[in-house]
Structure formats: C-alpha cells, structure tokens
Structure 1
C-alpha cells in the first residue's frame, strides 16, 4: 500500500511539474516575442535619434550657446555695426565648427554671412526676417538660400535689458544632409521625413521630396499618406501605422522635435523587422527545447529515485564492490609476497552512527559511497581499498613509507572535510579520522592492523578529524 501511495504522489508531482513547465514555457515564449518586437522597434529608432541629435539638435545647441556669448551681444548692440569685426567673428566660427553662420542685425537691418556676403533686410524682399521676428518662438528652423538650399536655425538675440537685437543663426547645406541620409538609408534600410506643423516636408532621406525654390512637398501629396483613413489624418497620429509604398510594407514610428514644432516620421521596412523577430522566435524555441530536455532529466531522476526506494536491492553501491576482511586476507598475502615494505591506513567516518540515526540508513550508504569514491580517486594503481567494518575502510599501500602514508592520510582527511554533502542532505558535514601503521618486514595482517587501530583510537580520543601514526617496533 505504501508503495502505491508513493507512486500516486510521484505521478501527481510529475503532472504538476509538467503543467507548470508548459505554462512557464508559453509565457516565456510570448514574452520573448513581445520583447523582441520592442527591441526591434528600439533598434530601428536608435540610429534615427542619433542622426537627429548630430545633424539637427547639435547645430541648435551650438547656435544657442554662441548666441549667449557676450562678444556676440556686444557686436549687435552697437549703434554703428562694425562690419569688419562681425565678418571676422563669423569667419572664425565657420572654420571652428564647419557650419555656416550669420548675424541679422535689427539695428542695421542687415544680414551678415560667414562667407563674407551681406544682405539688406528690406520688408517685402526678405520675408523670413519679418515673419519670424514677430513670432513668440526664440528658435526657428527653416529652409532658405534657394540657389544652394540650406537648413537654417535662427535664434533671437536680446541685450541685458531684454531688447531684441536681431537673429544669430547657423546653416547647413541640404547636400550634406542628403549625403548623411543616404548613408543611414544604406546602413539601416529605412527612410525618414522631417515634417513641420503644417505638414510640409522640411527634410527627407528621399532627395526628391526636399524643397526647391521655396516649393515644399506636403504630406497630403504623398500617395501612402493620402490612402490613410480620414480620422487618422485628422488626428495626425501615425505612430505604429502600417503603410505600403511601391508594394513594400513599412511601419511608421514618430519622434517629436518640440524645439521646432516638427515631427520625424521613421519608415522602417517590415521585412527586416520580421527577420529580426523570427530570429528571436527561433531563440525562444531553442530555449524551450533545452528546458524540455532539462524537464525530461528531472522526471528521469525522480523515477530513478522512486525505483531505488522501491527496489533498493537492485542498486549495487560502490562499497558493495570493495573486498571484505576475508578477501583482504588473501590480497594481503599476495602483496607481501611481492613487496618488502607496506603501509596500512584505517579510515573511520566520524559520528557515522549519528548520521544513520539523524538522516537514515540510505543517507549513511550514500556517505559510504561518496567517501570510498573519493579515496579511490587518490590511490595508485597497485594500492588496495577495502571494507574493514560498517564504517571503516582499510587502505593497503605496497612500497610506501610511513611519512608518505601520513601525507596521503592528511590529504584524504582534508579532502573529505571539504567534500560537498549528498544533495538530499545539505546540512550534513563529513569528517574522518585516520590511523597509520607501517612494516618493513613480513608480518601477518592482524598485527599490522592492530597498530593502525591503536593510532585510529588515538585520533578519536584527540577530537576526531585527525591523523595519527603508530609504527611497529622491530
């Protein structure tokens, strides 16, 4: 009845383990796929963010920082602008930063460029200055200089009293943007659009969409945008929207540029994302197979231990293979017939009776197996390990002197003391005591082991986990 009760509990345990494992694997796989989708999304955004920072925000920060310099304010607040000093400062900045700079003075109504040119700010002829002067925003992004289109960032400059002095700006040729965009597109495979609040495309990885002669392309002119539902276009929310361009699927991601009131639309090819997610799914499947294999090993070991509990007589332990006293007597005679000297070590597992009482006889048998296996791994080929009693082992060491035998015993004592306990009994701590004897002449086994036993008793009396030696007086 106990056997069937144990079997019933084991089956229930295995069933619970399988159910938990399946639920865990399904959850892990779904989580992995979702995480891979998020990772692919993040990976596609990271290069775009890097480009925005380096190509758009960096010039903005440069112009903002330089616009607050005392030198620039002093140049612009003079009643009579010193054009020589202005051009020298702008030329120095262009050489230092590799960008185009300009100063638009409200006092002189003149724009000074770092290439040495200047332009009169006449209302009706130069529209950008008067349009942006009356806006509340202190920083404006725009496209201009149509003979060689540039992207400009215009920052308003004020004196200490808050009086408007004009604009200080930084510009960058659209040709350099096209080159950078092309590199990113070839490397990462996606397109992007910089769109202002009116839906005009200010910058694009598609050079055909960039402005020409103040003629901007509007989102509404793009076929894929026109095909979107009206509610989507009305809300102007395209994030994670799936679109089709020339027969290929793209996923849109949005990045806001509140500094200019722009939105960056990142068009990521869906085929590349699907490939990345597929790789993540394959990894999940492989992980599942590994976990299932580990589960199989767990079930196998549970069945093994169940079988061991039901039929312990079918499991042959290492200690059962060791020679007993009767077999050792014949082995000893063979050894002394061929060798002139012999050392003997008796090994006693400390507190073995308490181990059996506290943990059970199966635990005691595990300890005997563990200790005998450890001792065997440190013996020479012609050395002999045998059972001397229920908790003692004997080691016969042909042609080994007492000093070497004592050193071997110390090695074994230390090794047993640091052996990890059986996995089922982690709180168990093993130690052993050793008695060493030696004979340089042929004697009977009982006489030799009697001295080894005396040494072993001495090790026990002195506190256990010790090595003691008692030699035979010739």
Structure 2
C-alpha cells in the first residue's frame, strides 16, 4: 500500500513538474520571440536615430547656438553692413564646422554665402525668404538651391529690442545625405523617408525620390502608399504597417522629428527580421521538446521501478513490512530531536487470540494485514506506524499534543470498528483498544511507551474498543 501511495504522489508531483515546465517554457518562448522582435526593432532604430542626430539635429543645434552670437547680430544691425566682415565670418565658420553657412539681411535685402557668393532678396524671385519671414517659428528646415540641391536650416535673428534682422543658417548638399543613406542601407538594409506634414518627401535614401528643381515627390505618388486604406493615408499613421514594395514585404517604423515638423519612416525588410525571429522560435521549441521528453523518460523509469518493486509487496504482508520495535527506536529519537514533543498511541486488536483459535492463523494474518493497512492509510503523512508486538501496533504523532492525539485515537477506533469486514468472513467484526501517552521533553522511548501500555491495559479492563489516556507526571 505504501508503494502505491508513493507512486501516486510521485506521478502527481511529476505531472505538476511537467505542467509547470511546459508553461514556463512556453512563456519563455513567447518572451524570447517578443524580445527578439524588440531587439530587431531596436537594432534598426538605434543607428537610424544616431544618423538623424548626426545629419539633422547636430546642424540644427550648431545653427541655433551660432544664431545667438552677438557678432552676427552686430553685423546685421550695423548702420552700414560690412560685407567683407560678413564673408570673413561665414568663411571661418565653414572651415571650422565643414558646412555651408549663409546670412540674409533684412535691411540690405541680400543673402551672403560662405562660398563668397551673394543673392539679392527680391520678392517674386526669391520665395523662401518672404515665405518664412512671416512664419511663427524661430527655425525652419527647407530644400533649395536647385542647381545643386541643398538642405537648409534657417534661424531667425532679432536684436535686443525684438526687431527682426534676418536669417542665419546652414546648408548641406543633398548629395552628402544620399551618400550617408546609401552607406547605412548597405550596412543595415533599411530605407529612409523624411516627410513633411503635407506628405512631401524632403529627404530619402532612394535617390529617385529626392527633390529636384522644386519638384517634390509626395507620398501619394508611391504605389505602396496608394494601396493603403484612406484613413491611414489621411493620418499618415504608418507605424508598424506592413507594405509590399517590388514584391518584398517591409515593416514601417515611425519617428517624429518635431524640430522640423517632419516624420521619418524607416522601412525594414521583413525577410531578414523573420529569419532572426524564426531562429529564436526554433531554439525555444527544441528546448521545450527536450525538457518534456526528459520528464516523460523519468516517469517511465519511475513506473518501471515501482512495477518491479510491487511484485514482492503482493507476497509480503503489509503488517510485516512495518518497522518493528528495534527499528522504531532511532525513529523515535529523530522525532524527539526535531520536534521535542510527541504523542504515542498503542493499538491492540481485541480478542485476537480467540480469532486465531476460532478461524485459524491465516485469518489472523488477514486481520493483522487489514489493521496495518487501515492504520497506514488513516494516519498523517509525517506520522509513523510500526509493529509493537504480535498483535499490537504503535503510532508516533510528532509535535502533537495529548488532546489532539486522543481525538486521533478516537477517530482510528471508530474507523476500525466501522470498516468493512473480511470478504471471507463477513460475520467477523474487528475492533481495537487504544492507549495514549505524551511527552514534551526528551524522555526515553520506553518511559513514554510504558505509560501508553498502562492506558491500553485500562482500555482492555474497561471492556475493549475504547481509548484511554495516561500522561506522565
């Protein structure tokens, strides 16, 4: 019976372990896939953001910092503009920062460039100056100089009284952007689109989409964009959208560039990301299968072990498998060491001698086996059941007080008296007498069991099928 109970508990434990392992590994697999997606997204966005900072935001911050220079304000608010000093200042800045600079004077209505050229700011001929002069923004980004298309950042300059003096800015050739974008695309495989709020493509890693001679390509002119739902087109909400370009799937990531009122769309080839995520998924599935297979091998070996172990149990009776008096002594000592308090119950089969004389030794063995099975199945997991003599059993109740022990003994007595009779002798009623003792200190086992024996004898004298208690003074 003990083997069956152990087997049952082991199978339940292993089943719980298998379930927990499967749930944990599924959770791990899903987490890994999500993490791999995030990693791939981060891997694409991090270099992209670095590129945006280096190519766009850095020039913006340089122009904003230089735009606060008192030297530039002094040049523009002077009664007579000193052009030589203007060219010298702009040339020095170009040498220092490696970018094209310009200064546009409101009073002189002239634009001076760091390459030594100038341009008269005539309304109707130069549109950008008059277009952005009245715009309520301190900085403007624009594309211009169409014979050699440049990206410009225009910073408004004011004197201390708030009077508008003109523009100071930075220009970068779009050829330099295309070169940088091409290098990035070869390294990471992604395409860029810098789009203003009107949908015009201001910058792109695709040279065919770059503006020339004031002709901008609009998003609506792209076939893949035109295939999107109208509500997506109207809001230009493309983040995490899947699009098909030249029969290849792309995933779009969206970054707002509020400094220029632009949106950057990063087009990621989906095939490469799917390959990375598939590798992580396959690894997780293989790990899950290995763990599950290992656990089922463990269950199979455990069942084989118990199948081998159960055959002798069918021959050796349960009563004879219980620890005897000699083996109980170290168990008692271990209980006293770890729990200090222990209750002891002695159980005697009523009229066992009469049963042997009337029905024979085989029936007597069946009765012993029935009582042993009943006691082991009716006691708690940490309780110990043993053989005390030929017809007596003993139960150790670790950490159990006398009142609880008495209640347990009463339940055992009642359970034994009401248990089904032997199938071979249904008229034979089996009962037992119970003696209870208790110690809360490290007393020898013989001293505690002696009081339990006295209580047991008292139960016999009082008529059997009773529980009596005798505590140590």
In the alignment, structure 1 residue 177 sits paired with structure 2 residue 193: no
How far is the alpha carbon of 1:302 from its aligned partner? Answer: 7.7
Relative distance call for 1:143 and 1:251 in structure 2 (3 A) is same
Q: Closer, same or farther in 2 for the Cα pair 1:3/1:114, shift >3 Å?
A: same
How far the C-alpha of 1:201 sits from its partner, in A, is 0.7
Query: Quick one: structure 1 residues 307 and 162, their matched pair in 2 at CA, closer, same or farther if it must change by over 3 Å?
Result: farther
Deviation digits for residues 101-133 of structure 1 (CA, Å, limit 9, x no counterpart): 001111221111000111111111111001001
Pair 1:121–1:288, CA change in 2 (3 A): same
Q: Is 2:240 the partner of 1:233?
A: no
Match of 2:198 in 1: 198
User: Over alpha carbons, which structure has the higher Rg?
Assistant: 2
| Cα distance, 1:136–1:306 mapped onto 2, change above 3 Å | farther
Q: Which residue of 2 aligns with 1:46?
A: 46
- State the secondary structure of the residue aligned to 1:43: helix
Tell me, yes or no, if structure 1 residue 145 matches structure 2 residue 145: yes
Structure 1 SS opposite 2:147: coil
Question: 1:118-267 residue pairs with structure 2 within 5 A?
Answer: 118-267=118-267
Partner of 2:73: 73
**Equivalence for 1:18:** 18
User: Could you tell me whether the CA contact under 8 Å between 2:22 and 2:288 is conserved in 1?
Assistant: no
Residue 238 of structure 2 contacts residue 253 of structure 2 at CA under 8 Å; is this kept in 1?
yes
Inter-CA distance 170–9: structure 2 relative to 1 (3 Å threshold): same
The 5 Å alignment of 1:278-357 reads: 278-289=278-289, 291-292=291-292, 295=295, 357=333
Cα drift, residue 168 of structure 1? 0.7
SS at match of 2:172: strand
Output the CA distance in 2 between the equivalents of 1:298 and 1:171.
72
Q: Report what 2:2 is aligned to.
A: 2
Which sections of structure 2, spanning at least 5 residues, go unmatched?
Answer: 312-328, 338-473
Moved more, 4-13 or 140-149: 4-13
Contact 1:244/1:250, CA 8 A, preserved across alignment: yes
Query: Which position in structure 2 is the counterpart of 1:29?
Result: 29
Q: Provide, for residues 52-101 of structure 1, a one-character-per-residue CA deviation record: whole Å limited to 9, x for no partner.
A: 11111111111111111222222222121111111111101111111000
CA, structure 1 residues 19+134, in 2 after alignment: closer, same or farther (shift >3 Å)? same
Matches within 5 A, 1:55-74: 55-74=55-74
**Distance change >3 Å, CA 123–CA 359, structure 1 → 2:** farther
Secondary structure of 2:140 counterpart: strand
Per-residue deviation, 1:288: 2.7
For structure 1, list consecutive stretches of 5 or more residues without a partner in the other structure: 312-352, 362-474
- TM-score normalised by structure 2 residue count: 0.63
Aligned-partner SS, 1:238: coil
Instruction: Provide Cα deviations, 1:14-63, integer angstroms capped at 9, x if missing partner.
Output: 11111111111112112211221222122122221111111111111111
Can you list the C-alpha shifts for 1:301-341, whole angstroms capped at 9, x where unaligned?
98899899999xxxxxxxxxxxxxxxxxxxxxxxxxxxxxx
1:321-470 superposed matches below 5 A:
357-358=333-334
Task: Please tell me whether the aligned partners of residues 11 and 299 of structure 2 are also in contact (alpha carbons under 8 angstroms).
Answer: no
| Structure-2 change in CA distance of 1:58 and 1:300 (3 Å) | farther
Deviating above 3 A after TM superposition, structure 1's stretches of 4 or more consecutive aligned residues are 289-311, 353-361
Q: After superposition, give the CA deviation of every residue in 1:333-381 in whole Å (9 maximum; x if it has no partner).
A: xxxxxxxxxxxxxxxxxxxx999944899xxxxxxxxxxxxxxxxxxxx
For the residue of structure 1 that corresponds to 2:237, the secondary structure is: coil
Count matched residues.
320
Q: 1:162 to 1:298 in 2, by over 3 A?
A: farther
CA distance in 2, matches of 1:233, 1:137: 27
SS in 1 for 2:146: coil
Using the alignment, how far apart are the partners of 1:304 and 1:264 within structure 2?
65
C-alpha separation between the residues in 2 aligned to 1:164 and 1:356? Answer: 100
Query: Relative to 1, partners in 2 of residues 1:160 and 1:13: Cα closer, same or farther, differing over 3 Å?
Result: same
Alignment partners' CA distance in 2, 1:83 and 1:91: 12
Secondary structure of the 2:155 match is: strand
* TM-aligned CA deviation for residue 248 of structure 1: 1.0
Match of 1:335 in 2: none
Find the aligned partners of 1:358 and 1:300 in 2 and give their Cα distance. 34
Instruction: Give the drift of 1:7.
Output: 1.6
SS in 1 for 2:148: coil
- Using the alignment, how far apart are the partners of 2:291 and 2:116 within structure 1? 71
The 3 A distance-change label for structure 1 pair 116 and 358 is farther
Structure 2 vs 1, CA of residues 307 and 231 (structure 1 numbering), >3 Å: closer, same or farther? same
TM-score if structure 1 supplies the norm length?
0.63
Question: Matched residue of 1:228: which SS?
Answer: coil
TM-superposed CA distance for 1:151, in Å, is 0.5
* Contact 1:79/1:107 (<8 A) preserved: no
Name the CA distance, whole Å, in 1 between partners of 2:75 and 2:283.
Answer: 63
For residues 33 and 216 of structure 1, the distance between their equivalents in structure 2, rounded to whole angstroms, comes to 40
Tell whether the 8 Å contact from 1:90 to 1:114 is kept in structure 2 after alignment. yes
The CA RMSD measured in Å over matched residues stands at: 2.8
